[in-house]
Amino acid sequence: MKTDSDFVVPGGQVQTSAPEVMGRIERRWEGLRERVEAKLQTLKGVDRRQESRLLDQAAKAGTVAKRVTWLRKAADSVTGSAAPLAACRKGCSHCCHIAVMISRAEALVIAKETGAPMNPLAGKYTMANVDEDSESYKAATQEAFGKPCTFLKDDVCDIYSSRPLQCRLLLNMDEDALLCQLVEGSTINVPYLNTQEHHVDSVVILGAHQDYDDIRNWFPMTEQQ
């Protein structure tokens, strides 16, 4: 069932401050909510029943690694129907240049599946101290700003089938990537598909004891990269 909150508009940031780009961005915002809602109407809303069943499976899974597997399926089910209508395309990598916070459980699964060397000392944040308004959290996201993810190769994700939940759940429902552009010092709003509830459910299912960090800290760049 479609709801008014099928998309959400959190802040994003961009890199070029050229006036013509900023002008295009401002013009894009005119009527954007209505256009995105009309687009989502063609889906008759995002069907979340399958997602709900898969989240139940994740919660019942016997190991944390299996929970990650079920959570991936649940994430893919909620974005699957909307993905063909999104701006996101292979070769577009704006969201691979911002912080990607992942849990230790996800990092362990990625390390096992890909063979990438993992830094076990990462994990600065727990659910108790992840406060998006805190100075340390803002500093962490600023540190990642504009830096490519460790797994980005030639603007393509090198671990696509193992990519984190955050990457699976981020869909820009606009026509193109204009609003994803990173402009230092400016805040741009991107009409992402609303997956906030799903994020909260995932955190609860993985357990409050999990520690979190940016993917670049779990998997630092090697000299060969």
Positions in the binding site for ligand SF4 (CB under 6 A): 96, 100, 149, 151-152, 157, 159, 163-164, 167, 215
d(CA 172, CA 170): 7
Whose tokens are 């994430």? That residue is: 75
Minimum gap (Å) between residue 225 Cβ and ligand SF4: 12
Minimum gap (Å) between residue 111 Cβ and ligand SF4: 13
d(CA 150, CA 220): 7
d(CA 94, CA 176): 12
How distant is the alpha carbon of residue 127 from its chain centre? 17
Residue closer to ligand SF4, measured from CB, 32 or 100: 100
Q: Residue type for 193, please?
A: L
Minimum gap (Å) between residue 97 Cβ and ligand SF4: 8
Compute, in degrees rounded to 10, the torsion defined by CA atoms 199, 201, 203, 209. Answer: 170
Residue closer to ligand SF4, measured from CB, 23 or 146: 146
Residue closer to ligand SF4, measured from CB, 14 or 110: 110
Minimum gap (Å) between residue 34 Cβ and ligand SF4: 30
d(CA 125, CA 38): 38
Residue closer to ligand SF4, measured from CB, 82 or 159: 159
Q: Residue type for 63, please?
A: T
